[in-house]
Chain A
Amino acid sequence: GQQLNQSPQSMFIQEGEDVSMNCTSSSIFNTWLWYKQDPGEGPVLLIALYKAGELTSNGRLTAQFGITRKDSFLNISASIPSDVGIYFCAGQLRTSGSRLTFGEGTQLTVNP
């Protein structure tokens, strides 16, 4: 199936630092979504992107839909301990209906 390469696989940062993670693919996506999963919970939608080049913010989170439609990044500014969790990117292909392809996740650890 289609692959999304998400990096980094894990990150260890200090509280207050900014962090960036990204997803890339060889395929063109129509939609990019970013989710966060806390331990023992289902993923929660953070940001949805629908247009190439689109830059969207949600509080301290900013995500961009790459101009080539093959990549997206998520930035978190001024990290806090509750940012800890696994972040997943997901993309929707034009040919896949409403089915999403998920990245493998980025495990974020924030040290106080």
Chain B
Amino acid sequence: GAGVSQSPSNKVTEKGKDVELRCDPISGHTALYWYRQSLGQGLEFLIYFQGNSAPDKSGLPSDRFSAERTGGSVSTLTIQRTQQEDSAVYLCASSLASNEMYEQYFGPGTRLTVT
């Protein structure tokens, strides 16, 4: 079946502009996660959605970052007033998160470059 998809695959934006990154999770997966990965670094947790529960926003680095998940499916990560340090690959993952099965499946990522 279809995996996690993300769009756009690459985004170049000017400092100060807002950007929206989209994630389509695997159908039926109730949990959705956003991570940030700087060049050569590990995965930095940003936010996660689990069903209808309030999202865990504890990883968002500043109030310029926000995310929504509409209808329990597609998610959008928004970065307002982008800064050069926001340049990174933004990865989305989804999981069933049920029956104690915690495998997360990742999309290909969106490479964001802020000039």
Number of A-B contacts (CB under 8 A): 55
Report the separation of the CA atoms of residues A44 and B103 in the bound assembly, to the nearest whole angstrom.
Answer: 10
Candidate in A50, A90, A102, A103 with the most chain B CB atoms within 10 angstroms = A102
Which B33-56 residues have a C-beta within 8 angstroms of A?
A: 33, 41-43, 45, 48, 50, 56
Which B44-88 residues have a C-beta within 8 angstroms of A?
A: 45, 48, 50, 56
Q: Cβ of A7 < 8 Å from any Cβ of B?
A: no
Choice from A33, A41, A97, A105 contacting B103 with Cβ under 8 Å: A33
A99-B48, A99-B56 are contacts. A88–B42 as well, Cβ < 8 Å?
yes
Report the separation of the CA atoms of residues A39 and B106 in the bound assembly, to the nearest whole angstrom.
Answer: 14
Q: Cβ of A25 < 8 Å from any Cβ of B?
A: no
Interface residues contributed by chain B, number (CB under 8 Å):
23
Complex contact A42–B107 (CB within 8 A): yes
A42-B91, A88-B42 are contacts. A98–B48 as well, Cβ < 8 Å?
yes
B20-34 Cβ-contact flags toward A at 8 Å (1 or 0): 000000000001010
Q: Cβ of A100 < 8 Å from any Cβ of B?
A: yes
Choice from A33, A35, A88, A103 contacting B102 with Cβ under 8 Å: A33
A42-B4, A88-B43, A105-B42 are contacts. A100–B102 as well, Cβ < 8 Å?
yes
In the assembled complex, the CB of A89 is this many whole angstroms from the nearest CB of chain B, namely 10
Extra inter-chain contacts (14) besides given A88-B42, A99-B48, CB under 8 Å: A30-B100, A33-B103, A40-B108, A42-B4, A42-B91, A42-B93, A45-B105, A48-B102, A50-B100, A90-B104, A97-B97, A98-B48, A103-B42, A104-B41
Measured CB to CB, the residues of B under 8 A from A are: 4, 31, 33, 41-43, 45, 48, 50, 56, 91, 93, 95, 97, 100, 102-109
Measured CB to CB, the residues of A under 8 A from B are: 30-31, 33, 35, 40-45, 48, 50, 88, 90, 92, 97-100, 102-105
